C-alpha cells in the first residue's frame, strides 16, 4: 500500500477499495509515539528496570553532496535523530541537519512528566531540559574517577542491554541502498522525506524486541 501510494500516487479512496480497509487505516501513520501507559502494557524483560522509558534516542549520519563537511568523517554528512520505543519501533524522526548541534525542542514537546528517555553519553546535555519537564534520563554514568563502582557497572550493563535495540533499528534503516551511498545533491531537498520513509518501512518488519 505504501509503495503504491508513493510510486503511483493513488488516492486514499482508491487504496481503501483495493485493500478493503477503512479510509482511516490508509491515512494512519506507522510512525507515532504511544502514551507511556500504552507502552507499559507490555514491557520487554530488558526494560524491566526502566519500565517508564517512552523513547530510546540515538543519532546517525548519512553521506551527502553538500556543504555540510565533517572533519571527523572526512565527508559531507547529514545527521538525524531517531527515537524508538521499548519494542524497537520507530516513533519519532527528526529533520536532517548538517551542523554540529540539533534543535531538540521538537523532542521535548513530545514528552510528558513521568516519562523517561534512554540515551548514550553523547546526549547528557539534555538532562537540564528534561529535569524541567520532570522527565527521567537514563544514561550510562560518566567516568569521574579511575574506575566505576559495582553499581555503576551494573547500570551501564543494563542500559547497554536495552539500548542495543536502537542500534539494531539504525542498521535496519540504513540497509536501504539509497542511504548506503552518497546522496546526490539533487535529492537534498527531499532527504528528510527519504529518510522518514525508510524509517517508517522498518516498522513493517517483525518487532526487534518481543
Q: What are the pLDDT digits (tens) for 179-188?
A: 988 888 888 8
Which residues, listed in sequence order, are joined to residue 63 by a DSSP beta bridge?
A: 77
pLDDT at site 68 = 54
pLDDT at site 70 = 55
Nearest residue to 139 via CA among 153, 123, 151: 123
Q: pLDDT digits over 136-170, tens only?
A: 999 998 776 677 888 888 999 999 999 999 999 99
* Residues in CB range of 34: below 8 A, 6 or more apart: 85, 91
Mean confidence (pLDDT) of the chain: 89
Rounded to an integer, the average pLDDT of 71-98 is 86
* Residues in CB range of 69: below 8 A, 6 or more apart: 75, 76, 77
Residues 98/73, Cβ–Cβ less than 8 Å: no
Amino acid at each position: 500500500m505504501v509503495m503504491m501510494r508513493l510510486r503511483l500516487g493513488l488516492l486514499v479512496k482508491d487504496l481503501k477499495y483495493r485493500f478493503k480497509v477503512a479510509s482511516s487505516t490508509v491515512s494512519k501513520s506507522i510512525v507515532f509515539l504511544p502514551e507511556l501507559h500504552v507502552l507499559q502494557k507490555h514491557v520487554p524483560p530488558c526494560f524491566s528496570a526502566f519500565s517508564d522509558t517512552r523513547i530510546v534516542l540515538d543519532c546517525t549520519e548519512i553521506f551527502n553532496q553538500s556543504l555540510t563537511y565533517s572533519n571527523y568523517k572526512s565527508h559531507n554528512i547529514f545527521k538525524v535523530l531517531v527515537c524508538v520505543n521499548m519494542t524497537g519501533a520507530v516513533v519519532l524522526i527528526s529533520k536532517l541537519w548538517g551542523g554540529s548541534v540539533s534543535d531538540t525542542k521538537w523532542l521535548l514537546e513530545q514528552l510528558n512528566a513521568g516519562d523517561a528517555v534512554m540515551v548514550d553519553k553523547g546526549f547528557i546535555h539534555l538532562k537540564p531540559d528534561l529535569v524541567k519537564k520532570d522527565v527521567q534520563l537514563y544514561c550510562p554514568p560518566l567516568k569521574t574517577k579511575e574506575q566505576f563502582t559495582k553499581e555503576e557497572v551494573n547500570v551501564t550493563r543494563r542500559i547497554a542491554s536495552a539500548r542495543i535495540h536502537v542500534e539494531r533499528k539504525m542498521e535496519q534503516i540504513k540497509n536501504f541502498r539509497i542511504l548506503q551511498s552518497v546522496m546526490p545533491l539533487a535529492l537534498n531537498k527531499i532527504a528528510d522525506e527519504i529518510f522518514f520513509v525508510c524509517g517508517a518501512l522498518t516498522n513493517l518488519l517483525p518487532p526487534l524486541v518481543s
